[in-house]
Structure 1
Amino acid sequence: MKKYSILLYYCYTSIEDVEKFREEHHLLCLELNLLGRIIIAHEGLNGTVSGLVEDCEKYMEIVKSDPRFADIDFKVDYSDTQGFTKLHVRSKSEIVHSDLHHINPRERTGIHLDPEEFRKLKNDPDVVLLDVRSNYEHKLGKFKNAVTLDIENFRDFPDKINEIEQYKDKKIVTYCTGGIKCEKASAYLLEQGFENVYQLHGGIIKYGLEAGGEDFEGKCYVFDNRIAVDVNTVNPVVISNCFVCGTHSDRMVNCANPECNNHVPICEKCGWEMEGACSAECKSHPELRPYDGTGYYQKQTNGYNPYKGLQRAKVLK
């Protein structure tokens, strides 16, 4: 039995006093010794955290006991180690950066498909699978025959609508890592006149956990220390190549040059030879970070202190 849980979740719901809730939620995570990243906005909650299995169980129980989050869908994976090294609970204008502030997924969004429904529908000739993630994510792994977009960030998605127009007569099924981007992506497609719009509920991660990940090719990029995870236990293949030597590799690395921080596959041999850098230029950078074989580096946080500014009494007794 693995010691730690890694939770991935979101919930579109109305949060009136964002700062008050942020502080209370921050205290909750501190009490439960959870690490990770949580974003809170007026439109809802988005997070990925890790901690001891029993602490994560308590966290999920407390969150779901709040009527605002009663329907929240936690994707739960397990690990031998902590998934994060720090805790950040922050308030922002959106729970995922899209610049689609006018869209409210609680009012209108694509039809949700559970993993088994998605598995049965994905090979229908009238279906188009649309990956709404960034380049570095879908280059590492994607569904077989999926349409991918050349975007660096999700906020670029609306700019690609002309490339999707050709599929207006098809059933469009959007997917992403955990489902959150699809809520606004599918809603935006409906707004733009697409009629048959669906989304994979719970995203790639839930599909892998509950339906075996069939036809997901490569690995899934995740936003914790693991960087990338296996999804497909049915018919897995490797689709990405080492950025340095070109051999097949799904070993995701962040470039050791902090000014580059490129997210690319680098095989183990090249990883050590290049000291975690993605190019000779990056390898010679004066601020090259020490490479430990993982290719994961904690971002600098400008002295961020998880206890700073906390004024209220502890929420747990």
Structure 2
Amino acid sequence: MMKYFKDKTFKMAISATIAIIIADAFKLHFSVTAGIIAILSVQDTKKEALKVAGGRLIATTIAIVLSFALYIILGNNPVVFGIFLLIFIPITKSLQIGDGLVVGSVLSTHLLSSSNINLYWILNEEALTIIGISIAMIFNLYTDSLEDIFEKNKEEIEEKYRQILSDMSVTLVTHTVPIYEQKLFLSVEKLISESKIIAKKINDNYILKNNYYYLNYINMRTMQLDTIRRMKKHFLRFNMTYEQTGILSKFTEDVSKEIYENNDCTNLINKLDSLRKTYELMELPKTREEFENRALLFQFLNDLEEFLVIKKEFVESN
């Protein structure tokens, strides 16, 4: 049963129904409006719902008071309603409470259609607004557990990174590229993009605090993907295999096996430093072509180091 309370369509339908029933119980005029306000106030995240509710309450209060004053002074007719809009719309824009524009205008039409405008109408319209928003806020407390979806995506991202780096370790030696490489890159890009949206929603479901861990994780993986793309470009210019290539291939394979989330990469960075010192002790290149290829290997090594440092900084800051 609880899963239905997390479905947005279900929340809209039930909150609107309850809001109308309550408005009818208090014998409010235009009770259906409470249901419409409830529908408009159901949001995807708690923080978004709170922001919309606050803005809408301010906007509707301004609309009701402004309408009351204009209709009492100038009369309630379509021309005065137009004057109301000319004043009300700029106010909502300047206060950045545009979410309340439509609802505020609808409430104003209630006073426009009344033959006897008095204080009761202010109370009636405020009550409709409060009932609609309040019922929607109760249902907004029930949201999907996006953390579980994110964790699943995270594991899939890490597995794809593992595959990409493992393939790179082979390509270093064989100079061959897997036929599925492009498809693999596109799938991980899509997964990261989807996970970033989920991460933002998770953060927005924390009302009194922020939880930036999920966004930070996705940003870290995004930066690493940019580094991987640079590493991949080097393969377009590799055309020879050396002793250094075999050593770097083995190290790249080691990196692929340690992609998991909590690894701070300290050991791998230490290994990389040792690898760089080993290179320095090796015989210098004898030809221009060998020199250029060795330079590319060095650039690949530097990019791989950046890949590890990005992860290390993420673990240390979270």
TM range (shorter): under 0.3
Q: Which has the higher helix share?
A: 2
Q: Report which of the two structures shows the higher radius of gyration computed on alpha carbons.
A: 2
Q: Which has the higher strand share?
A: 1
Which is bigger in relative contact order (C-alpha 8 A, separation at least 6)? 2
Q: Normalising by the residue count of structure 2, what TM-score does the alignment of the two structures yield?
A: 0.20
